[in-house]
Amino acid sequence: MKIFDVLLLAPFVGLLWLPFYNLQTPVLFGFPFFYWYQFAWVPVTSVLIWLAWKKGSRT
């Protein structure tokens, strides 16, 4: 497995373990941590998928 393919596991692991982010604080723009943590993974996941696609296509 290539290093960029392993990066695709980060969103899965980051969102899989619910007790890690099942918190009220810190609050960002009125949203509890539980919500903004999940929303923050959306652009991060998009960038990771793009990286795996671009770097993986050069093999």
Tens digit of pLDDT for each residue in 1-59?
577 778 889 899 888 988 888 888 899 899 999 999 999 999 999 999 998 888 876 65
* This prediction's pTM: 0.77
Q: How far is CA 54 from the centre of its chain?
A: 18
Question: How many C-alpha atoms does 25 have within 13 Å on its Cβ side?
Answer: 0
Distance CA 51, CA 49 (A): 5
The residue segments making up the domain with residue 28 are 3-56
Distance CA 23, CA 19 (A): 8
- State the total domains in the chain: 1
